[in-house]
Amino acid sequence: MPDLNHMPGVPAMRKRTLGDPRILVAVVDGTALTEHRAFDGADVQSTRGYWLDDRQDDEWSTGHATHITSVIFGQPGSEVPGLAPRARGLFIASGVDSDSAESEIGIARAIEYALLQGAQIIHCAFCHPSQTGATQSWLADAVRKAEEAGAVIVAPAGNDYGQNWCSPAAMPTVLAVGALADDGAPMHFTNFGSRYAGHSIMGPGENVLGAKTDGTVMKENGTSVAAPVLTGIIAALTSALVEDGQYPDSQRVRNVLIATARPCTGSGADRCIGGEVAVDRALEVLFGGAGIDSFIADNARIIATQSAPDAPAALPEPPAPGGPHQLPPHSSTIHRAAEQPDPRKAYQREERQLVSVGPSVAPSIMYPARTFAIGTISYDFGDELTRHAFSHAMGAGFGAGTGLADDVLAMVDYLDANPGESRRLTWVLSINDEPRFAILPVGPYASEVYDMLAALVQGQAKGVVSVVSMPGIAVEDWRILLDGRVIPTLHHNGLRGMFGWHPSDLARQSLESVYSDAQVAIERVAPETAAGTEDTIIGIDVALPEVWPRLLDAPTEKITRAVQDFFESVYFRAPQDPSVSMERAINLAATNGYQIARSFLDALNDGLEYQTYRTEYSPFGRVGGNCWDVILRFVAPRGRRGAREYRFTVDVADVVPVTVGHIRRWAAVK
């Protein structure tokens, strides 16, 4: 929407008010460039969160904040006329890069800081994506404090094509904002679903004009630019209330906007959250004496008699997984074995198939995304020129032949003698023989990572390695392979979490470790001191004889094979998305192996058989964590007794996941 004045009611709102300095709007984002001429004369100040370290603001966070804030506070007569230019603005930098931007504790601190400064409206530009919508307690507490203080929080619903929830937008007291295209239909990337029901609205999210850090202006797309339009409208209407002698009740304004929004109609309406913002209707209620009920009746009439521009409907919802922490139905499609429609393509209307939505509309969880993948390593040249250059250079001292560069062992020998040449290659991580990521070593330990990549490729060629684990940060930096395929880049900054192995070796070594630790625990703890002590040896409780006696029985070949089969079922299952939290948890469990081996050794020594596994969002999550429970289910042959489940927790908050707490077991419910 090139001109926000085209929105019904916005011209009338601008005539009534340009904002009032008694209204303070806090914007939680990166560091806005307030020197832009769009802010000349604006009553705004910028502050950096006290919890941030001394890292420099990256270009992305500064550019994002500058654009967002100008939509609200751009001055009259400038290239970006904001919606509430005379209101006061407090710009709080709660993150400096893509990692810190998604920190829930950083967002919570920024909200509480804004409340201490007296903000009545808080725009939260950052979005923490998840597949459960669960929110950590400190963010929930901060949002609750805002509600108690009478402040309104506005946040984007996220750009994940309906595959994830975004916090704080998913919280019931936050106004979640989805994105509409210029033709009035929902943009294909905008999030939707039941978590947004009752506290959401759709705003213009295509071609929204805003300030750029180089002093110019640009148009951006996304829920991140639809949300400040709503924040600006709320700030202006609240200002109009106080100028009219009424109480500046921003929560009332929010509720009126939700209630008076025009309904979404047409085949894409089920991907709208709330209705389409209608400033003209809100003005009638706030200042014209109109009642809410009349608009509810009018909405019913619109739905029955009119249709909005056509757009594809939401994909059919697959069955939701069981358990108390269910995934939103529209996000579980990527975990099903059957091939599912790609919402990135399915939701694009036919006339817009070839239209790019621009760099600002990146999925909230996909890029950048913490990733823990299991697959194989190879190298690629990117183009024939590089391939021939390597073959020519290698032929000088490492044999002859133009195809020498394709000889893995010869290439490793060449890289040992010329380590700097590793950077000219594209190192590829494949999952089930499908190239998925181009690995880019970064940071002070990049050279060691390149050495390890060469060693892993060599191990695969010699048959001593068949599976590799690779943690990192997936970014939208696309690399073209020699065969023309395009894959994103995985940044990796150290050797931690980077391993290569055979599934059979890991099964045997994991079982031997559990059995050995159990023997050590018995030898080190005398019977008379075992009871009541908290001492632990490698995760084995000292009350071992009473609680886990079957770990004292040596693993048999049958048990070793069963553990190996489990590992291979994880490594080679399809489809896989190693950037999804629950998949990172199971990948770590099948890489570490210890908890899996302990469960199998105890269960199979008791005559049970492995049945299945599942993952659930953990009720035992630690502060600052993102914890998932891995649950293994074992049953008795021919159902002679009840099933048993073993549960342990994996924290995926860091790039390399870790297990936390002890493994637990209990009789399973049917």
Q: Which domains does the chain have, with CATH numbers?
A: 4-305 (3.40.50.200), 369-497 (no CATH), 503-667 (no CATH)
Quote the CA–CA distance of 166 and 469 in Å, as a whole number: 28
The answer to whether residue 332 scores a pLDDT higher than 50 is no
Q: Which residues contact 385 (CB under 8 A, 6 or more apart)?
A: none
Q: Across all residues in the chain, what is the average pLDDT? A: 83
What are the strands of the beta sheet with 658-667, ordered from one edge? Answer: 609-617, 627-635, 644-651, 658-667
Measured over all CA atoms, what is the biggest interatomic distance in the chain, rounded to whole angstroms? 89
Question: Among 156-160, 308-312, 637-641, which stretch is predicted with the lowest mean pLDDT?
Answer: 308-312
Helix (H/G/I), strand (E/B), else coil: 396: coil
Give the model's confidence band at 546: pLDDT under 50 very low, under 70 low, under 90 confident, else very high: low
Rounded alpha-carbon distances, angstroms, from residue 194 to 94, 175, 364: 28, 14, 18
- Bridge partners (DSSP) of residue 666 are 645
Residue pair 71/82 in contact (Cβ under 8 Å)? The answer is yes
Question: Among 26-35, 245-254, 314-323, which stretch is predicted with the lowest mean pLDDT?
Answer: 314-323
What sign does the CA torsion over 588, 590, 596, 601 have? Answer: negative
Mean pLDDT for the stretch of residues 320-348: 44
Of residues 422 and 322, which shows the higher confidence score?
422
Give the model's confidence band at 534: pLDDT under 50 very low, under 70 low, under 90 confident, else very high: very low
Q: What is the pLDDT of residues 5-36, one digit of tens each?
A: 888 999 999 999 999 999 999 999 888 888 99
Q: What is the pLDDT of residue 639?
A: 65
Give the model's confidence band at 308: pLDDT under 50 very low, under 70 low, under 90 confident, else very high: low
Of residues 45 and 574, which shows the higher confidence score?
45
Q: What is the pLDDT of residue 305?
A: 58
Quote the CA–CA distance of 27 and 65 in Å, as a whole number: 8
Q: Are strands 24-29 and 121-124 parallel, antiparallel or unpaired?
A: parallel
Question: Among 163-167, 179-183, 498-502, 624-628, which stretch is predicted with the lowest mean pLDDT?
Answer: 624-628
Give the model's confidence band at 139: pLDDT under 50 very low, under 70 low, under 90 confident, else very high: confident
Convert 260-294 to b/e letters by CB count within 10 Å (16 or more is b). Answer: bbbbbbbbbbebbbbbbbbbbbbbbbbbeeeeeee
Of residues 528 and 611, which shows the higher confidence score?
611
Give the rounded percent of residues in the chain with a pLDDT score beyond 90.
Answer: 47
CA 554 remoteness from chain centre: 42
Q: What is the pLDDT of residues 279-296, one digit of tens each?
A: 999 999 999 888 777 666
Quote the CA–CA distance of 630 and 595 in Å, as a whole number: 10
* Of 11-15, 613-617, 641-645, 666-670, highest mean pLDDT: 11-15
Of residues 359 and 138, which shows the higher confidence score?
138
The answer to whether residue 100 scores a pLDDT higher than 80 is no
Give the rounded percent of residues in the chain with a pLDDT score beyond 70.
Answer: 81
Q: What is the pLDDT of residue 99?
A: 64
Give the model's confidence band at 297: pLDDT under 50 very low, under 70 low, under 90 confident, else very high: low
Question: Among 41-45, 305-309, 363-367, 495-499, which stretch is predicted with the lowest mean pLDDT?
Answer: 363-367
Q: What is the pLDDT of residues 114-135, one digit of tens each?
A: 999 999 999 998 877 776 777 7
Q: What is the pLDDT of residue 394?
A: 85
Q: How far from each other are the two terminal CA atoms of the chain, in whole angstroms?
A: 54
Give the model's confidence band at 175: pLDDT under 50 very low, under 70 low, under 90 confident, else very high: very high
Residue pair 151/249 in contact (Cβ under 8 Å)? The answer is no
Residue pair 200/179 in contact (Cβ under 8 Å)? The answer is no
Residue pair 566/116 in contact (Cβ under 8 Å)? The answer is no
Give the model's confidence band at 544: pLDDT under 50 very low, under 70 low, under 90 confident, else very high: low
Q: What is the pLDDT of residues 363-404, one digit of tens each?
A: 344 457 889 999 999 999 998 888 888 888 887 544 444 467
Q: What is the pLDDT of residue 330?
A: 28
Helix (H/G/I), strand (E/B), else coil: 305: helix
Of residues 188 and 345, which shows the higher confidence score?
188
Q: For the whole model, what pTM was predicted? A: 0.56
**Which parts of 50-102 fold into alpha helices (H)?**
59-73, 98-101
Quote the CA–CA distance of 577 and 127 in Å, as a whole number: 21
DSSP assignment string, 567-598: HHHHHT-SS--TTSHHHHHHHHHHHH-HHHHH
Residue type, 167: S
Q: What is the pLDDT of residue 319?
A: 34
Q: Which of 136, 153, 16 is nearest to 623 (CA)?
A: 136
Of residues 486 and 468, which shows the higher confidence score?
468
Q: Which residues contact 4 (CB under 8 A, 6 or more apart)?
A: 10, 83, 204, 208, 229
Mean pLDDT for the stretch of residues 637-664: 87
Of residues 183 and 332, which shows the higher confidence score?
183
- For residue 87, what are its two tokens? 């209101």
- For residue 333, what are its two tokens? 């499609």
Quote the CA–CA distance of 534 and 521 in Å, as a whole number: 12
Of residues 485 and 163, which shows the higher confidence score?
485
The answer to whether residue 152 scores a pLDDT higher than 90 is yes
Helix (H/G/I), strand (E/B), else coil: 548: coil
The answer to whether residue 568 scores a pLDDT higher than 90 is yes
Mean pLDDT for the stretch of residues 642-664: 89
Quote the CA–CA distance of 479 and 426 in Å, as a whole number: 8
The answer to whether residue 535 scores a pLDDT higher than 80 is no
Give the model's confidence band at 327: pLDDT under 50 very low, under 70 low, under 90 confident, else very high: very low
Q: What is the 3-state secondary structure (H, E, C) of 203-252?
A: EECCCEEEECCCCCEEEECCHHHHHHHHHHHHHHHHHHHHHCCCCCCHHH
Give the model's confidence band at 320: pLDDT under 50 very low, under 70 low, under 90 confident, else very high: very low
Q: What is the pLDDT of residue 105?
A: 82
